[in-house]
Amino acid sequence: MSVDEESTSCYCLLETQRCHMLLEHPGRYALVGEPLNQEAAKRLRLAVFGSPDSNNSLGFTLRVYCVDDTPHVFQEVAAGERSRGGRLLEEPKMMLFRGNTFSLQVSIQDVPQLLWSIKPFTTCQEFSFSQVWASSQRPLQCAFSLERYSHSSSQLSCKISVRQVKGEEQILQVYTSVVENEKGVVPFFTQSDCTITSQTGSRAFKIPLSIRQRISATFDTANAKGKDWQLLAQKLHIDRNLCYFACQESPSSVILSLWEAQHQDSGDLDSLASALEEIGKVQSPRTAIHGCSREERDSEFTPLG
């Protein structure tokens, strides 16, 4: 991926799995792009839910969702299923949908023929490439209507295949009781179960305040050797669009904020200490970072709003 234009109103940091946007004001923003080749892919979250047919005591409906792999989209699906009495029947799975212009096929397989019947001509359903790629319909879903031959058939087992033509395939295994008051319902998965996660509030990784202040005070002012915030940005590999930092009251502080965002998962202060050691600007930087007491560190971790 690449960002061609530079701006003093925002900073965009692209990584292989994430994109960080640093903005002056809170609001609603959209990140828009286009694939450069057919190897580009988007992550889909696949999930299957089931519920008894309210109009047919022998009926049972499976609903398969193929949605963007983001926490909020799946929460929307979960909320809708709760309201209709749906149950999550298999742990959601992730699938890469390639930008190769081919469609997505969803099919039901291995339905016990002696115990269940399925509505004719519905065993395989298809979404066009544009429906999936552009997310024109949210949430993207299809349904399979099944009917058991007898009330004694209280179990349903089958497979749901989600496959892109000339692309990947994922299998969702269904094994559930179709009795409406059945216990042991598979719980809904929370935001943290999504492939993409974000740390906020008290869980967010933050550089201890005293260390941040010392680094900013040191690098915001240039010296004769040219060891300033620009060199800090270079060593931390955040040196694109330097004009954005130049317009900030404390360029070093903004650079450190981006570095924090990059390291939310690891919280690795060692890499920051190593970068400072390379610069040779701060005296005993590793000692400055690791010499903090546990109480000092804990008291200086400021939760994100």
Nearest to 67 by CA among 39, 38, 15, 106: 106
Question: Higher confidence at residue 31 or residue 87?
Answer: 87
Topology of domain 41-177, CATH: Immunoglobulin-like (2.60.40)
Partner residues linked to 157 by β-bridges: 175
Query: Which part of the chain is CATH 2.60.40.2660?
Result: 41-177
pLDDT at residue 289 in the model: 52
Q: What is the rounded average pLDDT of the residues 55-80?
A: 90
What angle do the packed helices 251-262 and 209-219 form, to 10 degrees? 130
Residue 126 pLDDT class (50, 70, 90 cuts): very high
| Cβ contact 68:42 at 8 Å | yes
The CA distance from 178 to 136, in Å, is 32
Query: Which part of the chain is CATH 1.10.533.10?
Result: 10-32+202-263
Q: Does position 269 have pLDDT exceeding 90, yes or no?
A: no
Average pLDDT, the chain: 81
Say which CATH architecture domain 10-32+202-263 belongs to. Orthogonal Bundle (1.10)
pLDDT digits (tens, 9 = 90+) for 142-179: 999 999 999 888 899 999 999 999 999 999 999 999 87
Q: Does position 39 have pLDDT exceeding 70, yes or no?
A: yes
Distance of CA 202 to the CA centre of its chain: 20
Tell me the range of 36-40, 108-112, 220-224, 242-246 where mean pLDDT is highest: 108-112
Residue 136 pLDDT class (50, 70, 90 cuts): low
The CA distance from 35 to 41, in Å, is 8
Question: Higher confidence at residue 227 or residue 271?
Answer: 271
pLDDT digits (tens, 9 = 90+) for 279-296: 874 444 444 455 554 444
pLDDT at residue 190 in the model: 44
Length reported for the chain: 305
In this prediction the pTM is: 0.66
pLDDT digits (tens, 9 = 90+) for 1-36: 556 677 778 888 888 777 888 888 888 877 777 777
Amino acid, single-letter form, for residue 71 = P
Question: Higher confidence at residue 300 or residue 105?
Answer: 105
